[in-house]
Every structure is written in structure tokens, then in C-alpha cells.
Chains A and B, each alone.
Chain A
Amino acid sequence: MHPRQAQTLIVLPAFNEEESVEAVIAEVFAALPDMHVLVVDDGSTDRTALRARKAGALVARLPFNLGVGGAMRLGFKYALEHGYSNVVQVDADGQHDPAEVRSLVNALDRADVVLGARFAGGGDYAARGPRRWAMTVLAVIISRLAKSRLTDTTSGFRASGPRAVRLFAETYPAEYLGDTIESLVIAARAGCSVTQIPVAMRPRAGGVPSHHPLKAAAYLGRACMALLFALARPRATLRGQEITS
């Protein structure tokens, strides 16, 4: 077995996911019996935490909703405090296939952050129209910044290696799109390498993302704003011992 697997913490940010969380945890345990699972209940008002605990996961409960970025920083802090080297983010809505986690973790051999990319060949997930263009623009800019070809920068299915975990435990942003775009910019500018591998994405349990042109335009605008500010902010530095390779 790969030595990385046992030091990996799977973090599931969950906000009002009582319908799906139990099934997702069961699936994760079935696919990855050697990994630990932390569910971050992001201020849910339903029984997400109870269900997750019943399913056998560790559950950290935030007193109020902080968004995916807030939930993930908690996950990174927990991982750092408890000596996990790697963190894999898996959504609690069942969109991400736990069977793909191993290939994400294995790819950490050659990068600090590994994205599970939805358009890179695996699966048949597709976005159309302005939303697609927005994703393309973001991918081009962030690829250039990270000096690596990335096609799906807004993917929430991602693995972070030891250097990225240390960085993200301090700096993971909670703002809109911070958990996707800005976190990549922070990682790239702090000197972490980013790569992607193709993954298949399953349809979301609850509804599909909106393709309304106005909403897509607003998304593009906000994404560009987020990107610009991420680039304009002071560079985050990776503290602690440097891993020289």
C-alpha cells in the first residue's frame, strides 16, 4: 500500500446535507477503509451532525455557517494538529466519487495541490455558455500563474499535500469563490505546485447549477473580482520547516 494513504484525512464540508451525508460517509469508508474522515458541519440547522456521527465519522461543528472555505480551514487546522500529512476535500452531496481519492492522493507525489478536473476527459460533466467561458478564462489565468496546465480551477474535489496543508491551515479564504479560485492563487504564489488529474463527476443530488445568462454573467464578474483581489493581496508565506527536494 502507498504510505501516503494512512496519513490522509478526508474532509467533508457539509451544510444541511442530512439527506446525503450518511450515504456519502458509508461510501467513503467502503472505498477507503484506511483513511480517516472528518465531517465539518458548517452550522447546519438540520441533523447533519447527528447523521454523520451515526455513520461513524468524526464531526466538528461550527456554531454558524462560514461557507466551504471556512469549513475547509477548520479541516486543515484539524489535520495539522493531529499530524495528518494530506487533506482531501470531498463534497457531502455525493458529487465526488470516493474511488477517485486514491489517484488524487497518489498524484501528491508530484505536486502540493492536486485538483480533480471535470473536463479533462473523465466522465461527462459539462457546463455551457457564459459559465463555461468564465471557467475557461479563470483556468487560463491560473494555469499561467501556477505554471501548470489546469482546465478546471473551480473544482472542489482536491487533495493537498503537507506543504499546502500548512499553508491552508492559516490562509484558506472564506470569501465567495475563495475556496476555489483564491486558494489556488494563494498556493501558487506561496510556491506550492498545483496539478490536476481527470476525474468523473456524478450529477449532484440536489438540483443543477444555474445556466441563466444573467447569473452566469454575475458569476463571471465576481470570479474576476475574486481573482484580481487574490493577485493584489500580499503574498502568503509558507512558514515552518521547508521541505527541500
Chain B
Amino acid sequence: MTATSYILGIAAALLTLAVVIEMLRRRRLRERHATWWLIAGTLALIVGVFPKTLEWAADVAGVAIPINLVFFVSVVILFLVCIQHSSELTKLDDQTRTLAEQTALLELRIRELEQNTQSSIEADDQ
């Protein structure tokens, strides 16, 4: 491994962590959405600083070529993020539906109230 690729690995991990933490700090990202990104960033940083850990982990997991372990873990994390997003989307869908129902019911009620006041004003005028 050259010194450049060593530094590049660490820089990429640090950048990921910095972006996620900064977005969390500015409340642009809820912590439950940031969990997987933080885990991914931390893992990347550990592997970046101590490349030996990757070789050790690949050996333990029985993966012949260490880089394949990196790909595998990346895919797993992306998969988890996607599933989480789909589930959040479903929840938002449900909430929107309930809100739509409520606005419709409220609109109907307002219309009825308006008609009642209208007719009582007309009754008062006469």
C-alpha cells in the first residue's frame, strides 16, 4: 500500500463522518437516520488507520480476498439504509393519509358551521 492510498482512505472516512456529524448538528439529519452512516464511517476510519484489522477480519470471516469483505459490508449497510427509508416512507404515507382524512372531515364541518351561521344571520335579519 502506498502512502497516498493510505491517506486517501483515512480522508474519505473522515469526510463521511464530518458530513454526517455536521448534518446531525444542524438538525438536517435525524439521529435514527444517521446511525448506519455513522457505523459505516467509523468502520471505514478504523480500517483506514489500521489496514491490518481488515486482513484480520477477512481471515476470521473466511473471506480470501480482504477487499471483498469491504464490498460485502458496504452492500449490507446500503441495504439496511434502503430498507429503513422504505419503512419510513410507508409510515409517512400512513400519516399523510390520516391528515388528508382529517382535513376532509374538518372542511365538511366548517362548511356545515358556515351554513348554520349564514342561516341564523338571515333569520335574525328578518
**Residues of A that sit less than 8 Å from B by CB:** 40, 58-64, 66, 70, 73-74, 77-78, 81, 174
With both chains docked as a complex, state the minimum distance between the C-beta of B86 and any C-beta of chain A, in angstroms: 14
Provide the bound-state CA to CA distance between A220 and B111, in Å.
43
Q: What 8 A-B pairs come out closest when comparing CB atoms?
A: A60-B104, A74-B101, A60-B108, A62-B104, A62-B100, A63-B100, A61-B104, A74-B104
Provide the bound-state CA to CA distance between A64 and B107, in Å.
14
Chain B residues within 8 Å of chain A by Cβ, number: 8
Q: Which residues from chain A contact B108 at a C-beta distance below 8 Å?
A: 58-61, 78
Provide the bound-state CA to CA distance between A74 and B103, in Å.
10
Chain B 67-104 per-residue mask, 1 if CB under 8 angstroms from chain A, else 0: 00000000000000000000000000000010011011
Q: Which residues from chain A contact B104 at a C-beta distance below 8 Å?
A: 40, 60-63, 74
24 A-B pairs within 8 Å (CB atoms) are namely A40-B104, A58-B108, A59-B108, A60-B104, A60-B107, A60-B108, A61-B107, A61-B108, A62-B100, A62-B101, A62-B104, A63-B100, A63-B104, A66-B97, A66-B100, A70-B101, A73-B97, A74-B101, A74-B104, A74-B105, A77-B105, A78-B108, A81-B105, A174-B97
Which applies to chain A's interface (DSSP): helix, strand, loop or mixed?
Answer: mixed
Instruction: With A58-B108, A59-B108, A78-B108 as known contacts, state yes or no: A64 contacts B100, CB within 8 Å.
Output: yes
CB–CB B100/A78 < 8 A:
no
**Residues of B that sit less than 8 Å from A by CB:** 97, 100-101, 103-105, 107-108
Provide the bound-state CA to CA distance between A64 and B96, in Å.
10
Provide the bound-state CA to CA distance between A71 and B104, in Å.
10
Provide the bound-state CA to CA distance between A74 and B98, in Å.
9
Q: Which residues from chain B contact A81 at a C-beta distance below 8 Å?
A: 105
Q: Which residues from chain A contact B103 at a C-beta distance below 8 Å?
A: 63
CB–CB A60/B100 < 8 A:
no
CB–CB B100/A70 < 8 A:
yes
Q: Which residues from chain B contact A63 at a C-beta distance below 8 Å?
A: 100, 103-104
CB–CB B105/A60 < 8 A:
yes
Q: Nearest CB to that of A67 among chain B residues?
A: B97
Q: Nearest CB to that of A41 among chain B residues?
A: B104
Provide the bound-state CA to CA distance between A244 and B100, in Å.
35
Q: Which residues from chain B contact A58 at a C-beta distance below 8 Å?
A: 108
Q: Nearest CB to that of B107 among chain A residues?
A: A61
Provide the bound-state CA to CA distance between A174 and B95, in Å.
12
Provide the bound-state CA to CA distance between A125 and B104, in Å.
35
